[in-house]
Each structure stands twice: as C-alpha cells, then as structure tokens.
Amino acid sequence: MNKKLVLAFSGGLDTSFCVKYLKEEKGFEVYTAIANTGGFSENELKVIEDRAYRLGAKKHVTIDVTNEYYEKCIRYMVFGNVLRNNTYPISVSSERVFQAMATINYAKEIGAGYIAHGSTGAGNDQIRFDLAFQVVAPEIEIITPIRDLMLSRQQEIDYLKKHGVVEDYTKMGYSINQGLWGTSVGGKETLTSDKGLPSEAYPSQLEATEERFVELGFVKGELKTINGKSYENGPKTIQALDEIASKYAIGRDIHVGDTIIGIKGRVGFEAAAPLLTIKAHHLLEKHTLTKWQTYWKDQLSTWYGMFLHEAMYQEPVMRNIETFLEATQENVTGKVFVKLLPYRFELQGIESEHDLMKSGFGEYGETVKAWTADDVKGFTKILSNSLKIYHKVNKK
C-alpha cells in the first residue's frame, strides 16, 4: 500500500500533533510541507523544520509562495480596499488557498496517496484546504485527525507530552498564523464574546512611542515606495512597512463574523502594514476616482472579499473581478502622508497629479468658479421635480 502522506505543516500545536499521531498510531510515512506566504523569517523556518524532524517526519520541505500570493491576490485586495466586515484584512482566509495549492502540488510531485491538514471541524480552514485539494487532486485521500477525533487543544498537548514531546506549551496555547498580509491569533479569549486578547498574545509588542511621519507612494494602486525609497518587489515593500509600523503595535483588533459553516466566529489579528496600506490607498482613491467608479468598485470588492473568505478563489468570476479592479487603478498614483502613534495611525492627506480636488471648478464650501447662483437655483428646481410629484400625489 502507498502509505506516503503529505501534511500541511505550520509547526503549531495542531500540526505537531498530526505528525506524531499519523506516524505512531496510523503508520503513515509523513512528509511535512510548509508553504510560506511571507510571514516567516529564515530562522523561524529553520525552527519549524527542526521541529518536524524531531516529531518524526521522514522529509520536510519549505515552499515559498510569497510572490505568487502577492501578485495573484494581495494586489487585488489593495485595489479593492478589502476588509471583511470593515475590520479584517482577510489575512489567513486569502493565503490558505495558496498554501493548499502548493501542498497538494507537492503531494502529486512525490506520488503521495494521502494528504492531511490540522484544521478543526469548527472553523473555515477545513473547507479551504479540502476544497483546494479536491479540485486539484481528487484522487488523493484527505486525512484530518483533529477534525475526525474532535480534539481540544489540551487533549493534543496531553498526547504530545505522553509521547515525550517537549515544547513551550504555554506559547502553544494560542493558535498563531503568520503571513505577509497579517497574523491571526486565536486563544481561549476568542472563544468568548466578552474577553479581549492579552497584549502578550500578539507577536509584536509596543517599542516606539514618539510620533513618526511616513510617506507612502502608490503607482497605479500599488504601494511602491516608503519615504521615497523603492524596494525589490511588492512583498519586500509590505515587509518594510510592517517593520516600521509594528513597533507601534498598530493593526491589532478582533474580528467577529460569519463562518463558512454557518456559526459566528471570533479571531484576533495583527496587521500593521495591511491596514496602513489599505487605508492610505482608500484615501488616495477618494481624491482620484469618480463617484461611480468608487460606487461600483465597492460593490465588486465586497463580493471579491467574500469569495476569498469562503474558499471560492478558484471560481472564474474572481478573474473577471480582478480585471475590473485593476482597470480602476489607472489614475491611483500619488503620495499619502501618515502619522504613526502608539496603537494607532492618522491619515494626514495626499499629493497626486490626478487629484480631482484640483479641477479649478471651485473649492468646496468656499468659492465658485464654473457656475453661477442662478445655475444652482435652476439645477435644484429640476432636481426636486420627482420629489415634488411624489409628495403632491401621496399627501399624508
């Protein structure tokens, strides 16, 4: 029998349990693969690799999909100012499909008969991994120990301790998923409706307290420069911004929303660079897009974010929406000025050759240059016609 199994491995509690359990209890030949979406340093990846081998993995690989994730997804989330429920930058939701695709392609490459992930039966990730696996390789059987055994985090810890696995289980009490577009944090507090996460649960801690001004340069909707400095590519630019902003503990929040399986979910997150980028980009768009460009972009962006969240990235309509979003960015070029403060930031303003405030037609609330008082009186009279008709016919 082909007992070769590839496990989507993050090095956290759930996937650590999976390695040991699948090898010791089920007799699988476990290959671990981590698909890095930009959230890990070289040192962190080495620690994860060492942990995989200590747990009993036959082979471990790191697959870097950071650039692909940026080019095929993050760019469009910025173009669409995508925030789930006006709060969450869809950090984990968006990266999962790229991690799943990389893992299943590796499984096909080595001829594995099975593929596994460490998702629980109560969350969104089980759907995201399962769906991608089924679309790409329906012939490979999916194994999900945490979901099938309905294990609590404490039960997983107890099992690993029993099998002599020594780890910092206090730290493992929180489920942390790191990626280029933010870090999600789940723990006992997020299982409640009233408790916030303690400060120490977040990966970044407050280090800077003096206010700082940052200039973000956009070209056709993409963040290209920070304080006038260009970087190697999009991911490097985002990482550089995060390095600056995370020291202010910016971008912390708790997202509450509807899960794919129908229950309400709550998760903490830290996303300094994503929130700064989206909010700065949105401000620049307010100055450079027309009213109807903004309106229709908002409609399609909401759908794009929802489809990303609900595992539908591979739906062809997503490519159609991406084409529209990119087309709207033709004039979204300029600088955005931001002030950083502990735990928050303030958008100061923008500078752009496409700034529609510089039309020469007038200054809002101050001066008129392209019409007369009589023009406004006539315009208002015609504009009111439909309302006058309705209220005359339907007297209350």
Q: What is the pLDDT of residues 325-384, one digit of tens each?
A: 999 999 999 999 999 999 999 999 999 999 999 888 877 777 888 889 999 999 999 999
Q: Rg for the chain (alpha carbons), in Å?
A: 25
- 367 strand-pairing partners: 363
pTM of the model: 0.92
What mean pLDDT, rounded, does the chain reach? 94
Walk across the sheet containing 4-8 and list its strands.
Answer: 59-64, 29-36, 4-8, 114-116, 141-143
Query: Alpha-carbon torsion 240, 241, 242, 247, what sign?
Result: positive
Which residue in this structure is represented by tokens 């033709």? 330
Region 121-125 average pLDDT: 90
- Residue with more model confidence, 168 or 297: 297
All structural domains of the chain with their residue ranges: 4-175, 179-196+203-351, 359-393
Single out the residue of 230, 343, 350, 233 nearest to residue 280, CA to CA: 350
Q: Is the pLDDT of residue 12 over 70?
A: yes
Structure tokens at 103: 């893992």
Coil/strand/helix, residue 177: strand
Average pLDDT for residues 43-57, to the nearest whole number?
Answer: 96
3-state helix, strand, coil in the chain (%, to 5): 45, 20, 30
Collapsing DSSP states into helix, strand and coil, what is residue 275?
helix
Pair of tokens at residue 78? 């910025």
Of 137-141, 154-158, 164-168, 219-223, the one with minimum mean pLDDT is 164-168
State the pLDDT at residue 234. 97
**pLDDT of 24 above 90:** yes
Helix (DSSP H) and strand (DSSP E) numbers for the chain: 14, 16
CATH topology of domain 4-175: Rossmann fold (3.40.50)
Q: Which pLDDT belongs to residue 384? A: 97
Q: Report the residue count for the chain.
A: 396
- Structure confidence at residue 171 (pLDDT): 66
Long-range Cβ contacts of 60-64 (<8 Å, 24+ apart)? 60/9, 60/31, 60/32, 60/33, 60/34, 61/31, 61/32, 61/33, 61/34, 61/106, 62/33, 62/34, 62/36, 63/33, 63/34, 63/35, 63/36, 63/102, 63/103, 63/106, 64/35, 64/36
Q: Which candidate, 25, 187, 155, 182, places its Cα nearest to that of 92?
A: 182
User: Is the dihedral angle over the CA atoms 330, 331, 335, 339 positive or is it negative?
Assistant: negative
User: Nearest Cα to 309, choosing from 74, 75, 128, 121?
Assistant: 128
Between 57 and 93, name the one with better pLDDT: 57
- Is pLDDT at 40 greater than 80 in this prediction? yes
Q: Three-class SS of residue 169?
A: coil
| pLDDT computed for residue 153 by the predictor | 85
pLDDT of res. 246: 96
- pLDDT for position 366: 78
Provide, rounded to the nearest whole percent, the portion of the chain with pLDDT above 90. Answer: 88
Q: Was domain 179-196+203-351 assigned CATH 3.90.1260.10?
A: yes
Q: Is the pLDDT of residue 78 over 70?
A: yes
Q: What is the pLDDT of residue 294?
A: 97
Query: Which helix (H) or strand (E) covers residue 264, if one does?
Result: strand 264-270
Q: Which of 121, 122, 74, 78 is nearest to 97 (CA)?
A: 74
C-beta separation of 61 from 106 below 8 A = yes
pLDDT one-digit tens code per residue, 145-191: 999 999 988 899 999 999 999 887 776 678 888 899 999 999 889 99
